Amino acid sequence: MAALALALSLAAAAPAPAASERAAFHLAIAATHHAPPDLVLLLVAHRKEFLMGVREAAGRAPAADFRLEGKALSSAIWQKLPVGDLVHRFGTILGEVIAAEAPAAGDAAGREAWESAAAGPYRYAGVCAGCAAGDAAPVAAAIARSRSELSHAKPDALASRIVTDETNLLWAIWTGAGGDARPARKLDERNGPYTVPAATR
């Protein structure tokens, strides 16, 4: 119920996006279903900034090094930057994950299949131990491998991988800044994959 309320709240904050933006919003919102609870509260409170960050980054070149980007965002939390700016940066980094892993534009049938898959449901693999401990290196490596590993993946498998990588990155950043990691341990990857509900259309 809380996840559905979050999805509705985030989706309602955004103006009607184009198809590719809609897919990005679905994927970013899905990553919050199993994100650190305290972080989710911030994302909801500043949802416009979050979605603007996603929108701005999803269509451009992604970060060159997600490990360094994640560490920088963890440090920014400690620097007590304005919360709206921090949340915007969370949206930006998720948008960059989407830019790094989403498929290139194809024919009409391929785009339709991708839009449907991006709306879920997703098979979420859980939070890796390193990310739960605040280390972004494992998910950064996974993002770097994604193009080669998923070059022939079906759209639903690709969408699920993006949601999993986004979720792991959120945990790595938040716990890297001293956030509570207990919920992540309940979703240890050895017990996955987990089904994440479809994003609100």
- How does pLDDT run across 102-123, given as a tens digit for each residue? 887 666 777 888 899 998 899 8
Quote the pLDDT of residue 151.
80
- Helices marked H in 32-181 — which ranges? 37-45, 47-58, 66-78, 83-101, 108-118, 129-132, 137-149, 155-176
pTM of the predicted model, to two decimals? 0.80
The label of the residue with tokens 């701005």 reads 56
- Cis peptide preceding 121, ω within 30 of 0: yes
Decide: 35 and 171 in contact? Cβ < 8 Å. Answer: yes
Quote the pLDDT of residue 107.
66
Average pLDDT over residues 5-32: 70
Closest CA to 23 of 113, 140, 141: 113
pLDDT reading at 20 higher than 60: yes
Decide: 119 and 82 in contact? Cβ < 8 Å. Answer: no
Please give the single-letter amino acid code of residue 166.
Answer: E
Quote the pLDDT of residue 180.
59
Q: Which residue has the higher pLDDT, 106 or 198?
A: 106
For residue 185, give both structure tokens.
């341990």
Quote the pLDDT of residue 4.
46
Average pLDDT over residues 43-70: 89
Quote the pLDDT of residue 140.
94
pLDDT tens-digit series, residues 147-197: 888 888 899 999 999 999 999 999 999 998 887 544 443 434 444 444 545
For residue 169, give both structure tokens.
């990155």
Per the prediction, the chain carries an average pLDDT of 81
Q: State the chain's maximal CA–CA distance in angstroms.
A: 46
For residue 11, give both structure tokens.
């989706």
Quote the pLDDT of residue 56.
92
